[in-house]
Amino acid sequence: MFIQKTNVEGLAIIEPRLLKDARGYFFESFSQREFEEKVRKVNFVQDNESMSSYGVMRGLHFQKPPFAQSKLVRCVKGSVLDVAVDIRKGSPTYGEYVAVELSEDNHLQFFIPRGFAHGFAVLSEVAVFQYKCDNYYAPQADGGISILDGDIGIDWKIPVDKAILSEKDTKHALLRDFKSLFDYHIDLYE
């Protein structure tokens, strides 16, 4: 696997090593040993998958401590614009984001550690999205930042009139009104 650096500490874009021939391709989508050597130590405990149609926007979600989650995400069918926003109090990149297109063609994966809000927008007719999480889902710990927060300035590549949002996702706070529960100076993995 090849790791692409981002401008926000902790986020990693991962490009797998593809082996192609006349039959198709093969790649190792996850290796615990290699991930820990090149990204960080993590113990994934839950895998999730969603299917969405064009224009669906999910996020910007996180789980509040002590149920915070790191995620390793990828799109196995179609394409999405995947975004992580730094919500770690005291971080030099607080409020900044990294956006990456994940698709069945580029096979990229995106690692989002604890302390980030995460969301995606479906750019293709249909997208199947998978994520590995290092903590179990806890509904009482759900949190979010508005996916349409203009102050963050994300270009979701979807016209607003074509965006499909859940009712829950339309009620999240703007970043400027958000009181972070994540501290940049505390290792959330201990």
What is the structure's pLDDT at 183?
85
Q: One-letter amino acid identity for 120?
A: F
What is the structure's pLDDT at 38?
93
Which residues, given as ranges, of the chain have pLDDT below 70?
Answer: 186-190
Which of 61, 107, 118, 172 is catalytic? The answer is 61
**Which CATH number is 2-179 given?**
2.60.120.10
What is the structure's pLDDT at 11?
96
What is the structure's pLDDT at 7?
94
Task: Give the pairing type, strands 24-26 and 97-103.
Answer: unpaired
What is the structure's pLDDT at 187?
63
| 61 annotated active-site | yes
Domain boundaries, the chain: 2-179
Q: Which residue matches tokens 């927008």? A: 121
31, 147, 157, 160, 181 from 100: Cα distances, Å? 22, 16, 11, 19, 25
The span from the CA of 137 to the CA of 26, in Å, is: 31
Which of 97, 107, 131, 184 is catalytic? The answer is 131
Secondary element (H or E) of residue 37:
helix 32-38
What is the structure's pLDDT at 71?
97
Name the residue among 154, 6, 7, 151 with its Cα closest to residue 81: 154
What is the structure's pLDDT at 180?
85
| 3-class state of residue 186 by DSSP | coil
What is the structure's pLDDT at 36?
93
